[in-house]
Amino acid sequence: MKNFAPRTLVLITLALIIAVSGGVVIAAKSHLPPSVEINYLDQPTIGSPKARIHLVIFEEPKCINCAKFTKEIFPKIKKEFIDTHKATFTVIPVSFLSGSMPAATALLCAYNSDPLYPNSELFFDYLDYMYSHQPDENLDWATKDRLVEMAKETSPAINPAQLEKCIDMQSYHVRIQKNLELAKKAMNGKVATPTLFVNGIEVQSLTYKAIKDLIEEVSK
């Protein structure tokens, strides 16, 4: 009986420490907004499927800021998080700028060159080339002929005749419209590109530091 009170006091103290510590952890994450569900199935994705972090970005082919993100920020994300198997990265192409639908279609045509084996690497290569050689978004540059030329310059794996036919048939217009609906739902009705989500949480400031900070926060 003599040892009961001190021992009880120790246990109570330990319980309080654990409770307070847990409260600190919860408080640290409580400032994060709730995540949103984004259906990324059948969308171009690279990275390890076992990664705990999933980045999903909505991009528009004629979007100047999307091109800037791809040139300046994406290589850093790829090097630190994708190539190290810490994250997967999904692009959901949308079209809302004038004349951009053929470009969005061409990207998905390349991705689905073989419908049984969608080629994400080919999609990313084509998208990267498109952004690297992107004219002003006010110009009507996304013509079939120019898109086929871009494809030829991207990779011999893209069949020009097959791509041309796919663009003519408007094969992925419905999917791209559905992608736009996904974007509206994720962004509360107002679509802007590029918009990036980390495990369903939107990155508010599209800088590399902000992206890295959010990745580290949700990884805790």
What's the chain's average pLDDT?
A: 88
Across the strands, what pairs with 56?
90, 197
Q: Give the number of other CB atoms < 10 A from CB of residue 181.
A: 11
What contacts 211, CB < 8 A, 6 or more positions away? 55, 73, 77, 196, 198, 203
Domain spans, the chain: 1-31, 45-218
Across the strands, what pairs with 83?
none
**Is residue 10 predicted with pLDDT exceeding 80?**
no
- Correct CATH for 45-218 of 1.10.3720.10, 3.30.470.20, 3.40.30.10, 3.40.190.10: 3.40.30.10
Average pLDDT rounded to a whole number, residues 136-163: 95
Taking every pair of Cα atoms in the chain, the longest distance, rounded to a whole number of angstroms, is 91
pLDDT class for 30, splitting at 50, 70, 90? Answer: low
pLDDT class for 32, splitting at 50, 70, 90? Answer: confident
pLDDT class for 26, splitting at 50, 70, 90? Answer: very low
Pick from 176, 183, 181, 179: which is nearest to 197 by CA? 183
What contacts 38, CB < 8 A, 6 or more positions away? 56, 92, 182, 186, 197, 200
Average pLDDT rounded to a whole number, residues 48-52: 95
* pLDDT of res. 28: 42
Q: Give the number of other CB atoms < 10 A from CB of residue 98.
A: 11
* pLDDT of res. 138: 83
**Is residue 95 predicted with pLDDT exceeding 50?**
yes
pLDDT tens-place string over residues 153-201: 999 999 999 999 999 999 899 999 999 999 999 999 999 999 999 999 9
Strands (E) in 5-69, as ranges, are: 45-47, 53-59
Please state the pTM of the whole predicted model.
Answer: 0.85
Strands 195-198 and 201-202: what pairing? antiparallel
